[in-house]
Each structure stands twice: as structure tokens, then as C-alpha cells.
Structure 1
Amino acid sequence: MIVDINFENLSELFQKRNLDSNKGDYGTVGIIGGSNGMLGSILLAGRAALKLGVGKVLIGFAYNESPISVDFMQPELMINTATYWLKSQIKVNTWVIGCGLGQSIFSQKLINEILILKRKSTIVLDADALNILASKNFSKSKLNCANNTVVLTPHPAEAARLLGCSTQEIQNNRLDAVRLLSKNFKAWIVLKGKNTLVCSPDDKTIFRNTTGNPGLASSGTGDVLAGMIGSLISQKLCLKQAILGAVWLHGKASDELSLENIGPIGLTANEIADCARKIRNKITYN
């Protein structure tokens, strides 16, 4: 069965916040990535997570020493190395791994550490984490060895690598592809593209997103989506509403910006996060 995502069914996404609340009530997301030459990816994900309402965002760079100590555009982000945060006693609700991670041996070791050390965690794997997962050196059994809940967010080419087929084969039958990915990896799958599809490992329903436009075909928009998904999961929305809500908001933001002639041509990832925040607040409080 295929069901279109409808914002009217995303009640948890649009709940008003308790007046007597603190940042601890809205969770912590840890984002791992940003290897050499790709620092922007992890910062985009972190900024998006913050703007979607999570209490704290930890940025863990895939370096032995952090290349920066502060993001001057978003100084609220807590920045250090991935290794530092993995050893920290801070409770992290959701880990987002892969934004600009690279595919080095060091990056592969980081994924293994997180999957094994962070038992019973919710883990979102995006970008280079998916490419590592698709490599011959990685065993799929590691994904669930610690009872982790896993979300994979491939675009069509990444999905093709995960299934060992061509991108065209994925595009020719996206429904079968998202089902097979979910079954093979025992994970939630967000198959990005026109009418993004979402499938859970234990539900026969496939959800289809009808928001979004070609403005999303630009650098960094996938990192923003990964950050948004991690943010909403960390805010303790049920997993389905968090994933569907992030996908819907991501596309809806591009639609709203295009109505203002800020896109689809030249739309940037940072603008998506800003607009998604505006939409969530407008629906919640108006």
C-alpha cells in the first residue's frame, strides 16, 4: 500500500511546547562527518538540526584534532572531534553519520565504533556512510548487532550501490527498490528523489512525499535533510512522524521558497533549514 504524506497527520510535529521546559526536554543529536574538504556538509546538517528545534547539537569532525572550534554563523553548535564525543558522557538521543565523512579507513572505523559502542541508539546513515556500507569490507550484520534502530537516506545512485545494480534500475522501479533496501538492511529507508519514498522494516506501507521541486537538486540539501531527521527523532517524536515530518518539511520549504522566487533556480541548503523552521512554527502556533 502507498500512502501520501499529509501534514494533517503529523500531529506530533506541530505540538505546542510546554511553557515550563528546558533544552534537555528536546534531546541531543550527535552529527559525525566533515572530513578534509567537506567541513560544510556537517555544519549544514548541524545548523538544520538546531533550527528544527533540538535541544543540543554535537558536531564531531572526522579528524584527530578538530579543524575549527566554533561555527561563527551558528555558535550554538558544540564542536569537537568525533572521537571526543564518542567518549563523552553526554547522553545523545540520535547519531547522524556520514555528512562529508569521506571513505577513509579512519571513517570506516568510526562507523564501526558507533554501531558497536552506542548500543540501542537511533542512528541515521547518510552520504559517505552509505558508500562505506555498500563496500565489500563492511558486513551488513554490524548494523543491528547492538539492537540499534537504523535509518538510511540514499539518493538513487547510493541506493544502486547498496543493492548492487544500476541507478536506472532503481529509478525504473523505486517501489521495489525501497522495499528491498528496507528488507535487506532491516532499516527505515528514505529513498530520495522526485516523490521521496519512506519504508520501515516492519510495515508493508510505503509513504510517498509530494512536496519538493528541482531546487533541492543542489549541494548540501541532503545534509540538511539528514540533520532535520536526526533533530526530530531526538525531540522524541515517534520514529514514523519524525522521519515523515522531516521529509515533508524539507520539500515544503523548497516549495514555499520557490513561491517567493527564491528558487527553484539557485536555491541553497541553508535557506531550506530557515524556511522549514518558519513553516513548523507557523502551523504550530497560528
Structure 2
Amino acid sequence: MLEDTIKSFGSVPARLLNSHKGSYGKLLILAGSPGMCGAAALCARAAYRSGTGLVRIVTSEENRIPLQLLIPEAVLSLYREQEELEALLEQEFRWADLCVMGPGLSQSEEARALVEEALRQIRIPLIMDADALNIVSEDPQARKYLYRTAPSSPVLLTPHPGELARLTGRELEEILKDPMRVGRVFARRHDLLLIVKGSHSLLFSRGAERYFQNRTASPALSKAGSGDVLCGCIAGIFEILRAEKGSGESSAALLYRAAALGISAHVTAGRLAAERFGQHGVLAGDTADMLGLALEAVNAPPR
């Protein structure tokens, strides 16, 4: 349960009474190819429900109208051509303090150009999921940029076993048989943080010096979009932890704590959603909407 995780990783701080949107971070989400903007919306929604103050989505111009309807609280930064990406990303990375990349991105040439250019430029903490991971597994240049970036700026990868098999070049059966060993070796070799997603997700700290395993599960989470919600949840908690004054923790340490708390909060939200809709009836958006209640259950009063 979330309460047990908090005993090991600390609580999610309550909001300050005199805070404002800028107090709780600027999250940049690179997501959503044409026709797949729902993943971007779910990630942004989960980030807002988990506490992020400002969310900006970099996506194709074709997603403007559906995203404005799905998540009006998010700011959109739109591109039409690949040639626009270099200048656009340079501008947005100056604005943001955390980036999520991958939900609903597809593996088109446009998506590959976005991932490669983002990894070439990025110097802020990064959470990578879904198609961004698949692109890296097949694109030597993107992979080179990623493994060069990870030791200097914390990177969290969130693959399910199939995506981890593609990243490592190992057979899926080997991943399923011993995810602990494969995950630890991969995180240590590339000096990054890693979640191996599953009913009992594994989290490895940067360089695999520590690990955390979620001991509880929620079958209600076995729906499309749950990974997008998890990424947004981790991002939101990271922004809350980062807003705390005087913690003295590195960005990598904060991202590790946020990931552990996010995994547990996600499971708790899934259980809360199942109480309302039944285990078979929960949608990823329902889980996103329960994240605030999941965190509120263990929050201190506002200060």
C-alpha cells in the first residue's frame, strides 16, 4: 500500500497555503502523433491530478483541437514540419524543469526525428516511455544520445517486459523469468533509473545501487493508457518533491523517490477507481482522476 512506501521514501508534501502554479514546476510532455493524442491527454491529466503546476505538450498541429477539448488546462506547443523541431525544442527545454517523452508518439519518421533531436538537446530530468523506448531500441543515433545524457542528467525509463527485451536485445522469456537480474544489469551499465512494469513493478535507482518492488497490485490497471497515467503521476510527484525547500537531494534521488511513490499511488488510484466502476470497468482516465484522492489519503494538512 501507499502508506508502506511512504515509510521508506517519505510522504508527498502538502501544498503551501501561499503557493501558486509556478511553485509546482513546469512539465514538458513530448507525445501524441496524429490520431494518437489520447495518450498525451492522459499523461497531462495524471500530472495535473498528481500536483504539477504547469503542463505544456509538444505535439503535431493535427492534435490541436482534440487536445484543447480533452485537457484545456494544458498549453500546446505545436509543430507542422520536422524542420521546426530543433528551434522549438530548444525554446521549450529552456522553459521546462522536467520532460516526459513517448506516450502515443508512434514510430513514424516524424516521431523518430523528434526523439533524436530531443535526446541530442536535453539537459533536464527525463522520463521515457512507450514509443520513445521503441525508437531508441532501433535507432543507434538516438541510443547514443540517450546513453551519453543519462550519467549527467537523470533519465528514468519505464518499459514493460516486451519493451525491455527490445532495449536489451534479450529474449522476452529471459526478461519474464528474471526481471530483477536483467533490470539491474541494464540500469547499472547505462547509469540510469529503470522501472520494469508489471503487476509487481520493479524500480532500480541510478546505477542500480538500490531497488524497490511494489508488493501490491490492482488488476483494474490492465487497460490501455495505464502507462501514460503512471508517467504523469511520477512527473507530478517529482514536481511536488522538487518544490520542497532545503531538501538537499539531487534530481536523480528525487526522481527515484517520485517513481517509488508514483508506482504505489498509481496502484492505490486503481483500487479506488475499481471501488467505483468495478475492476472490469475502470478506464485509464478514471485512474488518473483518482490520483489526487490516493495522495490526499496520506498527505499532511495544507501549510
TM-score by length of 1: 0.89
Structure 2 partner of 1:11: 10
Select between 178-187 and 65-74 the one with higher mean Cα deviation: 65-74
**What is the distance in 2 between the residues matched to 1:141 and 1:284?**
41
The alpha-carbon deviation at position 230 of structure 1 amounts to 1.9
Structure 2 partner of 1:133: 136
**What is the distance in 1 between the residues matched to 2:201 and 2:168?**
18
> Residues 27 and 196 of structure 1: is their aligned pair in 2 closer, same or farther, counting only changes over 3 Å?
same
Select between 167-176 and 88-97 the one with higher mean Cα deviation: 88-97
Q: Give the conservation status (yes or no) of the 8 Å contact 2:189–2:207.
A: no
2:258 counterpart (238, 242, 256):
242
Structure 1 partner of 2:282: 267
Q: Give the conservation status (yes or no) of the 8 Å contact 1:250–1:276.
A: yes
Structure 1 partner of 2:43: 45
> Residues 257 and 94 of structure 1: is their aligned pair in 2 closer, same or farther, counting only changes over 3 Å?
same
2:74 counterpart (74, 77, 90):
77
Q: Deviations over 1:68-123 (max 9, x none)?
A: 1453243111112264752436621111000011112221221222222222x101
Residue 88 in structure 1 maps to residue 84 in structure 2:
no
> Residues 242 and 52 of structure 1: is their aligned pair in 2 closer, same or farther, counting only changes over 3 Å?
same
SS at match of 2:238: helix
The alpha-carbon deviation at position 28 of structure 1 amounts to 0.9
1:183 counterpart (182, 188, 191):
188
TM-score by length of 2: 0.85
Residue 105 in structure 1 maps to residue 109 in structure 2:
yes
| Structure 2 portions without partners, runs of 5+ | 80-84, 243-253
SS at match of 1:36: coil
The alpha-carbon deviation at position 139 of structure 1 amounts to 5.1
2:271 counterpart (255, 259, 272):
255
The alpha-carbon deviation at position 285 of structure 1 amounts to 4.2
| Structure 1 portions without partners, runs of 5+ | none
**What is the distance in 2 between the residues matched to 1:91 and 1:230?**
16
Q: How does 1:132-281 map to 2 (within 5 A)?
A: 132-138=135-141, 140-146=143-149, 147-237=152-242, 238-258=254-274, 260=275, 262-281=277-296
Aligned residues: 278
The alpha-carbon deviation at position 203 of structure 1 amounts to 4.1
SS at match of 1:283: coil
- Higher normalized helix content (fraction of residues): 2
SS at match of 1:75: coil
**What is the distance in 2 between the residues matched to 1:261 and 1:132?**
37
The alpha-carbon deviation at position 185 of structure 1 amounts to 2.9
2:64 counterpart (64, 68, 72):
68
**What is the distance in 1 between the residues matched to 2:222 and 2:141?**
29
> Residues 21 and 136 of structure 1: is their aligned pair in 2 closer, same or farther, counting only changes over 3 Å?
closer
Q: Deviations over 1:137-159 (max 9, x none)?
A: 34533114343211100001101
Aligned identity (percent) is 30
**What is the distance in 2 between the residues matched to 1:171 and 1:110?**
31
**What is the distance in 2 between the residues matched to 1:7 and 1:106?**
41
